[in-house]
Structure 1
Amino acid sequence: MAIQKDIFNKPWLQTAIGRTFKFLSPNTWTTVSLFISIGAFVVVARGYLYWGVLLFIVGSICDFIDGKVARYTGTSSKFGAFWDGTVDRFVDALIVGAFFYLDSPLPPRKMHMLLYILLFCILLPPFIVAYANHRGAVPDPHEKVVWRFAFRAEPLILLGVAALFNQSSLMTSFVFFLLALLLMAATVVQSLIVVYVRAKEYV
């Protein structure tokens, strides 16, 4: 399902983005995306849903830019990769956390439980891959060996649609939320199975 990686990784597009936005360093773009996302969370919490969604999108664009700038300027680094991945996890938590302030067809306690499960399912797949690589079970520094149903963009797109429908069609919003939850739950299980199977090749 990681179709967006093939679309946005075209060499000409990466070069164009890197050249256009090289006025800031890759790590600066990553940090900017974090602060914008924190602002987006605060805006949603204060009741301005659509402005919050817009800010989350802007933050995601900044996060998208950082890697292109790093490759174009030849400034990719191990710390940059670490910082980018760490900020991604913070932003994922902020996006899911924003849903605590949205309406739901379920009682608050049940909805909050689903949100905690969703957060767990979003954060776990990259941890599984990183830990499998760290422990040498499946060497996969570029996340290409452990194939997954979904990476980061897919659930965030579904959650973005869920947020946009939240004030106009609560059930439609909830359906997209459930799709994100089911997709990531399946990805957690799939990631564990793939690591188990591929690890046998490295014994």
Structure 2
Amino acid sequence: MLRSRLVRRERTDVLLKPFARLRLHPIAWSLLSLPFAFAGMLLLGRGELIPGLLMFLASGAMDVIDGAVARATSTVTLLGAYVDGVLDRYVEILLILGLMLYLGDRVNLRISLLFSILIFGSLMTSFVRAYADHRGLVRDQEELMRMGGFLERAERLMLLYACIISGLYSTDLLIFLLTITALLANLTVIQRIFLILNYARRSSGR
């Protein structure tokens, strides 16, 4: 939702088109997001918040470049979209694990539960929509993609980046923002389920 509002595909495609000259396949650009994210996780675990944040921002840049290159070279494929979606989940989990490692010995049962809820919400947000497509509950792909919700991936990442920055000032603030992110992620799951159920009910009544 936020990404579609703030980032115009036409503009980013023009700006990123030169990357196509490097002759890297779009899937290769997608795969490059993983080493940056892994490095970011390790840096966060070592308490190096700003370098860790920069690594995750670089990982996000790879996620934007891959699509722009695919469109510039007319190599947009379902396989590429699938790989990109799977890698997005890995990058997000590495970001969450990096924050968990940063808290280190300050992690207790309450914080462990918070991270579990956050990871569950992050994964389920995409799953409920993908499973609705798999089961054929929503046949209109445009309608399916419009079922965004309170906190899509772009918003979650922005909140998680805010968590990293807040860690420079206060652990309590970091934990508070993590709690907000976890709650909103799971509310988004519930919201998407209701949106899908309502769509399926309307469709069956046609």
TM-score between the two structures when normalised by the length of structure 1: 0.90
How many residue pairs are counted as aligned between the two chains? Answer: 201
- Distance across 2 between alignment mates of 1:12 and 1:155: 23
Structure 2 CA distance, aligned partners of 1:141 and 1:7? 22
Tell me which amino acid in the other structure corresponds to 1:193.
F
Moved over 3 A (4+): 140-143
- Unmatched runs of 5 consecutive residues or more in structure 1: none
Cα distance between partner residues in 2 of 1:34 and 1:140: 32
Change (3 A) 1:145 1:202: farther
Which stretch of the first structure deviates more once superposed, 91-100 or 115-124? Answer: 91-100
- Amino acid aligned to 1:158: L
Q: 1:25-40, aligned counterparts within 5 Å?
A: 25-40=25-40
Residue identity in the other structure for 2:7 = F
| Matched-pair contact (CA < 8 Å) for 1:149–1:183 | yes
**In structure 1, what is the Cα distance between the partners aligned to 2:154 and 2:11?**
21
Aligned to 1:11: 10
SS of alignment partner, residue 95 of structure 1: helix
Deviations 1:99-138 (A, max 9, x none): 222238x751110110010000011011111110111011
How far apart are the structure 2 equivalents of 1:20 and 1:147? 31
Query: For the residues of structure 2 that align with 1:45 and 1:107, how far apart are their CA atoms?
Result: 13
Match of 1:127 in 2: 127
Aligned to 2:176: 175
Deviates most, 8-17 or 90-99? 8-17
Q: Identify, as 1 or 2, the structure richer in helix.
A: 2
Quick check: 1:150–1:184 contact (8 Å CA) kept in 2? yes
The answer for unaligned runs of 5 or more in structure 2 is: none
Distance in 2 (alpha carbons) for counterparts of 1:140 and 1:132: 11
Query: What are the Cα deviations for residues 127-151 of structure 1, in whole angstroms up to 9, with x where unaligned?
Result: 1111101110112545424232221
Q: Cα–Cα, structure 1 residues 5 and 33, in superposed 2: closer, same or farther, change >3 Å?
A: same
User: Partners in 1 of 2:26 and 2:140 — Cα distance?
Assistant: 23
Distance 1:126 1:132 in 2: 10
The residue type paired with residue 92 of structure 1 is E
Following the alignment from structure 2 to structure 1, what is the Cα–Cα distance between the partners of residues 36 and 169? 26
Query: Over the residues paired in the alignment, what is the CA RMSD in angstroms?
Result: 2.0
C-alpha displacement of 1:10: 4.1
State the Cα distance separating 1:35 from its structure 2 match.
Answer: 1.5
Letter in 1 for 2:119: L
Q: Equivalent residue for 1:83?
A: 83
- For the residues of structure 2 that align with 1:160 and 1:149, how far apart are their CA atoms? 17
Alpha carbons 1:8, 1:14 under 8 Å: kept: no
Asked if 1:186 corresponds to 2:187, the answer is yes
Q: Counterpart of 1:47?
A: 47
